[in-house]
Amino acid sequence: MPSDDSPAPGAAPLSPNDVRPAATGLEPRTTAPVVLDAVDHRLLAELAADARIPNNALAQRAGIAPSTCLARVRALRDKGVIRGFHADIDPALSGRPLQAIIAVRMQGSARSRLTSFLRELGALPGVLNVFLLGGAHDFFVHVAAPDADGLNDFVVENLSVNPGVALTETNLIFQHVRAPVF
């Protein structure tokens, strides 16, 4: 039986931009670091800048043959270095112009539920990112809301009513710049 990465018989070979299930960040991590060379880093930088770049253009920028490029990108995906390809959606233009980082501290009795709560938070509408932390707070939750009332509703309905949540602190985001990954 072909794997998810195998093209159907007679189909065109996969490109670096073929869709895979979205990574959640909760997948198991390998314990050994992956050794990357200069070509791998160049591929990652180009894909981070434009995940839709065609394989032949990516190969040209990395200075390698298209078949080599395809194999290297596939290997980086298989090793978990590339977790997925994503659209960078503007929250404001998609109806959620108000962004915030909500710091969450859990009750001591809820510490055994950190991983499950992380998953629950990540599944909520309007959540862009969730970070499990070490330090004074247990989570940072990056959210986008349609307005101040929507943000308030999110905090009240999803965090404040949860008996495991000890404290929330909402910080508004005025501007955001996406930093290059590499």
- Write out pLDDT tens, residues 60-79: 999 999 999 999 999 999 99
Say whether pLDDT at 59 is over 60.
yes
The alpha helices in the chain, defined as continuous H runs, are: 38-49, 55-62, 66-78, 114-122, 148-155
User: 98-173 has which CATH code?
Assistant: 3.30.70.920
Confidence (pLDDT) at 25: 52
Question: 60: phi > 0 → left, psi -120 to 50 → alpha, else beta; which?
Answer: alpha
Please tell me the pTM assigned to this model. 0.74
Confidence (pLDDT) at 15: 46
User: Do the domains spanning 14-87 and 98-173 agree at the CATH topology level?
Assistant: no
- Which is nearest to 173 in space by CA: 131, 145, 149? 145
User: ∠ CA 176-140-117 to the nearest 5 degrees?
Assistant: 140
Mean residue pLDDT of the chain comes to 86
CATH class entry, domain 14-87: mainly alpha
The domain spans of the chain are 14-87, 98-173
Q: Could you tell me if 151 and 170 are in contact, meaning their C-beta atoms sit under 8 angstroms apart?
A: yes
